[in-house]
Amino acid sequence: MSNRPVVIIPARSGEPALGWAEACAEADGIAVDLGFEEAAVCCIGSVLGPVAARLGRGSVVVCCEAQSFEPARWAETLASECGEAQVVLLPGSADGRDLAVRLAAILRRPLHAQCSSISAVQVERPRYGSTLLERVPVAGPFVATLAPGARATETPAEQDMVQVRSIDLAPAVITAEPQLVALQTPDPATVGLSDARRIVGAGAGVMSKDDSLEVNRSRFEVLTQVGLACGAALGATRVVTDAGYVDHGRQIGSTGVVVDPDLYIAFGVAGAVQHTTGLGNPDHVISVNTDPHAPMMALADLAITTDAPRTIAALAAQLAERTTEPAARPELHQSITPGSEAAT
């Protein structure tokens, strides 16, 4: 493939890895800087036909069908396809990170992980809880992962003219390779925000200075349970994490975690730029706020002008009624004091 940049897209059951579109766009930008029209693409995983079609490319896409995730074999296979590439780029998903480490070792190249921006001569990556942006000059070939949600991009339209070149999976060379036993659905309560497909966001409108610490804290506990019942992880704005109601590791924004969910439901979130720059490009946004002119309301596909704590309490009550064993989730029956000021 010459020194053309290569973007690698792991896939499972026809679904490309989280952040694949951003990785393609970033790799294409690098390719243009190096004098190519676009980056080369390698897809590896299962049911790759739909993946190749979603790339929106008329050029050749290298595909390797592999039913189970065997990172050592995958890396050996991919190394032969990108040995001459100046830059090998992968999305910073779980599978992408696993493959990147192994590829860097096989190709004997430096690895720049979870970058926010990548070029042929420099990478940028957040440090110290995203409070500092480190710019690292690079010389020579390297492997890098792009953090999901690091850049905005539009998913290419499907094309029927994609040319696919199939390759075979390399033979197993490591006898101690871990064996895949089963795939488990991630627990929304513990999944990293950057990997979460659904997120409920808590802003200042969920709190009230007129209520006690216990009452305010109970609101966030109930919102967490509402999110779990909907398969969503809890995120928050900086004002909430600074107040101590949500851990700083769940802070979304330029000084926190960068996310890119399919669905984002914002409760009492004003939508300051420090927060929205970390949202990526969600497919759907719902905003609940008493202020109809809040920036988040303008970003939302569905904007609901109402009190966030009342809405959380109502959702909790509805979910409790649908629970087959209501006694198992008594926290959903907690009374919520409705008084709340608009998000600021």
| CA pair distance 96, 29, nearest whole angstrom | 20
The reported pLDDT for the residue numbered 158 is: 54
pLDDT in tens, 265-297: 999 999 998 899 888 888 899 999 999 999 999
Residue 178 main-chain phi, psi, to 5 deg: -60, 145
The reported pLDDT for the residue numbered 173 is: 64
Q: How far is CA 110 from the centre of its chain?
A: 24
| pLDDT: which is higher, 307 or 21 | 307
Does the pLDDT of residue 200 top 90, yes or no?
A: yes
Strand partners of residue 263: 198, 284
Tell me what percent of the residues of the chain surpass a pLDDT of 90.
47
The residue ranges of every structural domain in the chain are 6-166, 193-333
Does the pLDDT of residue 326 top 50, yes or no?
A: no
The model's confidence at residue 331, banded by pLDDT at 50, 70 and 90, is very low
Arithmetic mean of pLDDT, 230-242: 94
Arithmetic mean of pLDDT, 31-59: 83
The reported pLDDT for the residue numbered 281 is: 81
The model's confidence at residue 12, banded by pLDDT at 50, 70 and 90, is confident
Q: What is the pTM of this model?
A: 0.68
- Residue 179 burial class via C-beta count within 10 angstroms: exposed 0-12, middle 13-18, buried 19 and up: exposed
C-beta of residue 11 within 8 angstroms of C-beta of residue 51: yes
Arithmetic mean of pLDDT, 249-272: 90
pLDDT in tens, 65-113: 888 888 888 999 999 888 789 999 999 988 999 999 999 999 999 999 9
Give yes or no on whether 6-166 and 193-333 have one common fold. yes
The reported pLDDT for the residue numbered 144 is: 97
The model's confidence at residue 259, banded by pLDDT at 50, 70 and 90, is confident
- Residue 108 burial class via C-beta count within 10 angstroms: exposed 0-12, middle 13-18, buried 19 and up: exposed
- Residue 222 burial class via C-beta count within 10 angstroms: exposed 0-12, middle 13-18, buried 19 and up: buried
CATH of domain 193-333: 3.40.50.1220
Question: CA angle, corner 99, sides to 106 and 37, nearest 5?
Answer: 90
Does the pLDDT of residue 138 top 60, yes or no?
A: yes
109-113, 177-181, 197-201: least confident range: 177-181
Provide the mean pLDDT of the chain: 84
The reported pLDDT for the residue numbered 327 is: 46
43-47, 130-134, 195-199: least confident range: 130-134
- 6-166 to CATH, choices 3.40.50.970, 3.40.50.620, 2.30.110.10, 3.90.45.10: 3.40.50.620
The model's confidence at residue 328, banded by pLDDT at 50, 70 and 90, is very low
